[in-house]
Structure formats: structure tokens, C-alpha cells
């Protein structure tokens, strides 16, 4: 809470599904007046070109009390914000 109250901040979502298990924490962070934006770094499947930006956006929406504010805070999709997925297979 000290950090949230200290100054304006931007949230970077990297490698997190934003599911309901962290609802209390996310709601506190996203609904706080000092939150100025939320940037989603998404995974893009190189073979199909599909990405998970929309799914993460939907998951994020469940943590906002004010959906209009959410639409203002979430940074729009940018293909350059794709992150690499590590493959742990040993094949």
C-alpha cells in the first residue's frame, strides 16, 4: 500500500494470466487512483500468429470495478509488445 500511495505508476503484465486467484491484489492495484495505465505483454504463437492479448484483457476486466476506467487504462494492442515463450521440452 505504501508503494501504491507514493506516486503514479504503470502496471506491466508479463507472463501472468490475470486469473481470479489474485483478484484482491489486482483490484487494489488497478482501482487505485495512482494507476495511470496497464500494459499487457502478450504471447504470440509464431506458427499461427495468434496471441493471448484479448484473453488477458478479458481476465483483467474482472478486476476493475469501473469498466470505463479500465478501457482508458489498458494500453492498446501493439504487436511489438509480444514476449517470447520459453519451451522447456527436451525433445
Domain locations in the chain? 2-83
pLDDT at 78 over 50: yes
The mean pLDDT value of the chain amounts to 89
| Confidence label for 17 from pLDDT (cuts 50, 70 and 90) | confident
Distance CA 12, CA 75 (A): 10
- The share of the chain scoring above pLDDT 90, in percent, equals 66
C-beta separation of 49 from 21 below 8 A: no
pLDDT at 66 > cutoff 60: yes
The DSSP 8-state label assigned to residue 81 in this structure reads G
Residue pair 74/30 in contact by the 8 Å Cβ criterion: no
pLDDT beyond 70 at 83: yes
Better-scored residue on pLDDT, 84 or 26: 26
Amino acid at each position: 500500500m505504501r508503494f501504491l500511495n507514493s506516486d503514479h505508476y504503470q502496471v506491466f503484465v508479463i507472463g501472468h494470466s490475470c486469473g481470479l486467484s489474485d483478484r484482491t491484489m489486482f483490484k487494489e492495484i488497478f482501482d487505485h487512483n495512482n494507476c495511470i495505465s496497464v500494459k499487457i505483454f502478450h504471447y504470440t504463437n509464431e506458427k499461427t500468429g495468434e496471441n493471448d492479448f484479448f484473453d488477458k484483457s478479458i481476465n483483467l476486466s474482472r478486476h476493475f470495478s469501473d469498466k470505463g476506467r479500465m478501457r482508458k487504462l489498458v494500453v492498446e494492442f501493439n504487436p511489438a509488445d509480444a514476449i517470447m515463450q520459453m519451451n522447456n521440452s527436451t525433445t
